[in-house]
A and B are shown apart, each in its own frame.
Chain A
Amino acid sequence: MNARTFLVRGLLAGLIAGIVAFGVAYTVGEPPIDTAIGLEEAAAAEAPAEPAADEAHTHAEGDAVHTHAAADTEEGHTHSHGDEEEGGITRTTQKTWGLATATIAIGVALGGIIALIAAAVAGRLGRLTVVGSTALVTALGFVAYALVPFLKYPAAPPAVGSGDTIGSRTAYYFAFALISIVAMVATVFLGRWLAAARGAWTGVVGAGVAYVIVVTVAALAMPTVNELGDFPADVLWEFRISSVLSLAALWGALGVALTWLLGRVDTTAKAVA
Chain B
Amino acid sequence: MSHSVAAPPSGAAAIPAVEIPTVDLRELAPWALFIGLLSVLVVFFVSTDQGAVSLFAGTAIHEWVHDGRHLLGYPCH
Count of A-B residue pairs with CB < 8 Å: 215
Please tell me if the beta carbons of B71 and A243 are within 8 angstroms of each other in the complex: yes
Contact of B50 among A72, A108, A196 (CB under 8 A): A72
Please tell me if the beta carbons of A113 and B35 are within 8 angstroms of each other in the complex: yes
Q: Contacts A98-B64, A109-B42, A127-B18 given; indicate if A150 touches B73 (C-beta within 8 A).
A: yes
Please tell me if the beta carbons of A243 and B23 are within 8 angstroms of each other in the complex: no
Please tell me if the beta carbons of B68 and A102 are within 8 angstroms of each other in the complex: yes
- CB under 8 Å from chain A, chain B span 22-63: 22-25, 27-28, 31-32, 35-36, 38-39, 42-43, 45-48, 50-54, 57-60, 62-63
Whether, in the assembled complex, A2 has its beta carbon less than 8 Å from a beta carbon of chain B, the answer is yes
Contact of A102 among B1, B11, B12, B65 (CB under 8 A): B65
- CB under 8 Å from chain B, chain A span 110-158: 110, 112-113, 116, 119-120, 122-124, 126-130, 146, 149-150, 153-158
Chain B residues whose C-beta falls within 8 Å of the C-beta of A30 in the assembled complex: 67
Q: What per-residue 1/0 map shows which CB atoms of A149-182 lie under 8 Å from chain B? A: 1100111111001010011011101100000000
Please tell me if the beta carbons of A171 and B52 are within 8 angstroms of each other in the complex: yes
Size bracket of the A interface: 35 or more
Give min CB distance, B63 to chain A, whole Å.
4
Please tell me if the beta carbons of B77 and A161 are within 8 angstroms of each other in the complex: yes
Chain A residues whose C-beta falls within 8 Å of the C-beta of B68 in the assembled complex: 25, 98-99, 101-103, 106
Chain B residues whose C-beta falls within 8 Å of the C-beta of A122 in the assembled complex: 20-23
Please tell me if the beta carbons of B31 and A116 are within 8 angstroms of each other in the complex: yes
Give min CB distance, A85 to chain B, whole Å.
7
Please tell me if the beta carbons of B23 and A3 are within 8 angstroms of each other in the complex: yes
Q: Which residue of A lies closest to B36 (CB)?
A: A113
Chain B residues whose C-beta falls within 8 Å of the C-beta of A35 in the assembled complex: none
Please tell me if the beta carbons of A77 and B35 are within 8 angstroms of each other in the complex: no
Chain A residues whose C-beta falls within 8 Å of the C-beta of B43 in the assembled complex: 106, 109
Q: Which residue of B lies closest to A166 (CB)?
A: B52
Chain B residues whose C-beta falls within 8 Å of the C-beta of A161 in the assembled complex: 75-77
- CB under 8 Å from chain B, chain A span 42-91: 62, 66-67, 69, 72-73, 75-77, 79-80, 85-87, 89
Chain A residues whose C-beta falls within 8 Å of the C-beta of B21 in the assembled complex: 1, 122-123, 130, 269
Please tell me if the beta carbons of B9 and A119 are within 8 angstroms of each other in the complex: no
Contact of B23 among A2, A98, A105, A197 (CB under 8 A): A2
Chain B residues whose C-beta falls within 8 Å of the C-beta of A246 in the assembled complex: 71-72
- Assembly CA distance A25 to B35 (angstroms): 26
Give min CB distance, B67 to chain A, whole Å.
4
- Assembly CA distance A98 to B35 (angstroms): 23
- Assembly CA distance A242 to B75 (angstroms): 16
Whether, in the assembled complex, A6 has its beta carbon less than 8 Å from a beta carbon of chain B, the answer is yes
Chain B residues whose C-beta falls within 8 Å of the C-beta of A223 in the assembled complex: none
Please tell me if the beta carbons of B11 and A108 are within 8 angstroms of each other in the complex: no
Chain A residues whose C-beta falls within 8 Å of the C-beta of B45 in the assembled complex: 105
Contact of A124 among B1, B42, B71 (CB under 8 A): B1
Smallest CB-CB A-B distances: 9 pairs: A102-B68, A196-B9, A170-B52, A123-B22, A123-B20, A109-B39, A155-B73, A102-B65, A109-B42
